[in-house]
Structure 1
């Protein structure tokens, strides 16, 4: 590996989605070897690209504790999270390689990857990094006109013309769109593994994929763990999961793919080889079940409700395609449970009393939404994540 001189700087890497993302491979390869600056991938036309460049010190040297001559910081992942405050996740060479190697070990070894996610987010970037580390040539979906099933099929056809195994990574909204299109469904079935993450997937969507023979692998992780490090509830090799008692509790993740820390910030979230997440979960039958973020928990009448407890019964209802549950301030209850739902057929929406009863019967009376509002679509942030703050504002105005 090339040695690292003191004072390596952070350099922005404008990286567009689709085929243009492949033009960044040489720069990413050099960064993996510690040759040159640490790279901050940004969307050239992104709303917060300039903010990230300023907040994360583009053009400025890495501080002493932000780099290591023996294990250089390869990339800095810019993330605003749910707070909107920019953070720069420092991912060293070792973390990226450990993530790629553990993924290959869990799947079917090195293969050809199809990029279908924004490459400036960790899940999309890791598609490119896995290909570089394994020595394979990735392909990409043309998203100049948005994410379309026909463009996915065209790119997948290019993938299937190479050596397998074949892999891609999607978010639930993409999977839902693809699985309803006959041509893209046939393409999905030809992959050896489809990593699905970025947001909670409705159980009905997962069941549909299973019934259709689509090889879904549910992933859990974040930028601070170089992407997914728990697959189908089971940690990758070298990863340890701990949940603060009593369960459900805050999730801790340990392993070689944990980031070095944050740019310009000391954080108690990082300890020796570990990361204290902002997520709540529990372990059932040795598998991790993620229930949501700590700050998304709803306290209504003194009872804690995880949004997913209400979202699952709602999305399992045939009349609901998507749902987001949040807490709204209330003088009597402290918070009330409220839900925004995207209905399957706007001309024949399900009865709200029926939806409320579906949640009550499975998750208890405290989880039953007191307010249910139908919306055309859920607001998103990042790669397929529902913007809960925007949903909260929307429901608060109803």
Structure 2
């Protein structure tokens, strides 16, 4: 059996997602003004939602999710966060993090309050927070949004009133997390992806029925929130969704360690460059830089180099003097070795970003390749 697919946008997503979870047409959320390329007319009956990945580091994919997977994720999140509440919707609804907010709101029977405006601002968040009518309040953010709110007194005062502030979408710098916690924000760091219906590991611990294992250094996730696979790509589905020991697992392509209780994610396994014959993990370079004063937004990409083959190049919006720049680069060398030291640490007026708020690494890689 199959069901029809509807392309939906903006404010219509909540209503159409509610219908899809109840057995109505499946939906493919799209960015405002965007037209998905060759949207499917029909999908298998089990598929309620199709999520197009951002393609920030790899080729874009269409992840097929069932109502059961989405609702299992919503139930696990609600339990882990201490019960239902009213959500502030601060993330785009064509990405899984924003769709999670809608699914949790639908499951709780409480409509979310959306941050208004074309771009996320502290004022927009503050206005949305003040429209909440429930005593229990929740919000999901990406790290850049969290940093924006911590810099604004009124927004921070509102943020302190939240039952939980879920932060994910990319690695949250420890310095930023510590700053939020010191300011009295109830921060919860989330790990997951579209293929797991969103976050399924909170502060290193799996939620709900999520299972974790690490195979040859790669993080695998299992449980009721797993996607059906990739739409019209059986080869990639077979590669990334595998059966082991009677369970179905998603191979994340992330490196990490699992001690049976807590998961530590170390970064993308394929996000490695070779500099002078030495492997350098860009995520590790980025992590060290983000621990330096003022560099919580640092993004590191690979650039070609005539002598070394490839070198790390870092970008930030922080205005550094020569001493601060040299100190940050030296800190990377001390922690990870000389080949990991960024060849350049450049300041931009604004980091290019995807609609989800994640850094546009492709754009930065192109910029790094063009610079001398």
Residue aligning to 1:220: 191
Matched, 1:368 2:368: no
Query: Residue 221 of structure 2 contacts residue 250 of structure 2 at CA under 8 Å; is this kept in 1?
Result: yes
| 8 Å CA contact 1:319, 1:350 repeated in 2 | no
Instruction: Tell whether the 8 Å contact from 1:197 to 1:219 is kept in structure 2 after alignment.
Output: yes
User: Which residue in the other structure is 2:83 paired with?
Assistant: 109
- Specify which of 12, 35, 42 is matched with residue 30 of structure 2: 42
2:299 aligned with 1:299, yes or no? Answer: no
Q: CA deviation at 1:176?
A: 0.6
Q: Structure 2: which 5+ runs fail to align?
A: none
Q: Report the Cα offset of residue 89 of structure 1.
A: 0.9
Residue among 20, 30, 40 paired with 2:19: 30
Residues 341 and 349 of structure 1, relative CA distance in 2, 3 Å threshold: farther
* Structure 1: tracts of 5 or more residues without a match: 1-5
Say which SS state the counterpart of residue 320 (structure 1) adopts. coil
Q: Deviations over 1:196-238 (max 9, x none)?
A: 0111222221111011011111111111111111111111121
Of stretches 86-95 and 282-291 in structure 1, the one that deviates more from structure 2 is: 282-291
Q: Indicate the SS of the match to 1:386.
A: coil
Equivalence map 1:17-166=2 (5 Å): 21=11, 23-35=12-24, 37-45=25-33, 49-50=34-35, 52-54=36-38, 56-57=39-40, 60-62=41-43, 67-68=44-45, 72-82=46-56, 85-144=59-118, 146-159=119-132, 161-162=133-134, 164-166=135-137
- Equivalences, count: 364
1:85 positional shift: 4.0
Alpha-carbon distance, 1:365 to partner: 2.5
1:280-317, Cα deviation, whole Å (9 max, x unpaired):
22336842222222332222233332223222232222
CA distance in 2, matches of 1:134, 1:377: 37
Partners of 1:349 and 1:117 lie apart in 2 by 36
8 Å contact from structure 2 (residues 197, 227) kept in 1 = yes
Instruction: Determine whether 1:8 maps to 2:23.
Output: no
1:181 to 148, 152, 157: 152
TM-score, normalised relative to structure 1: 0.86
Which one of 293, 310, 321 corresponds to residue 318 of structure 1? Answer: 293
Once residues 260 and 17 of structure 2 are traced to their aligned partners in structure 1, the CA distance between those partners, rounded to angstroms, is 39
SS in 1 for 2:332: helix
Contact kept, 8 Å, 1:230 with 1:236, in 2: the verdict is: yes
Distance 1:333 1:83 in 2: 23
Q: 1:323 to 1:305 in 2, by over 3 A?
A: same
> Which TM-score applies when normalising by structure 2?
0.91
Cα offset, 1:257, TM superposition: 0.3
Give CA-to-partner distance per residue, 1:318-356, whole Å, 9 cap, x none: 24342111222334433222222321x46x464432222
Give the Cα separation in 2 of the matches to 1:131 and 1:320: 35
SS at match of 2:270: helix
Counterpart secondary structure, 1:322: coil
Identify the residue that residue 239 of structure 1 maps to in structure 2. 210
Superposed CA RMSD in Å reads: 2.0
Shifted more, 327-336 versus 306-315: the winner is: 327-336
Distance 1:284 1:269 in 2: 23
Contact 2:54 2:354 in 1 (8 A): no
Corresponding residue number in structure 2 for 1:328: 303
